[in-house]
Amino acid sequence: MGRYDALNGLMLKGNGKGGFKPLSILQSGIYIPGNGKALVKLHGSNGKYLLAASQNKDVLKLFALKSTGTSFKPQILDASAMIKYKNGSSTKQEFYYGSSFLSQSARFVNINSQVSSITVTRNNGTTRMLNLN
| Reported pTM | 0.68
State whether the Cα torsion 72-77-79-85 is positive or negative. negative
Tens-place pLDDT, residues 102-128 = 677 888 888 888 889 999 999 999 999
Q: How confident is the model at residue 56 (pLDDT cuts 50, 70, 90)?
A: confident
Closest CA to 36 of 7, 67, 75: 7
**pLDDT at site 101:** 67
- Portion of the chain with pLDDT greater than 90, in percent: 26
Cβ neighbours for 32, distance < 8 A, ≥ 6 positions apart: 8, 9, 53, 55, 61
**Mean pLDDT along residues 90-113:** 82
More confident residue, 21 or 71: 21
Over residues 9-23, the pLDDT tens digits come to 778 988 878 899 999
How many Cβ atoms sit within 10 Å of the Cβ of residue 83?
A: 22
Q: Residue 68 pLDDT > 90, yes or no?
A: no
Helix (H) or strand (E) holding 119: strand 115-122
Averaged pLDDT score across all residues of the chain: 84
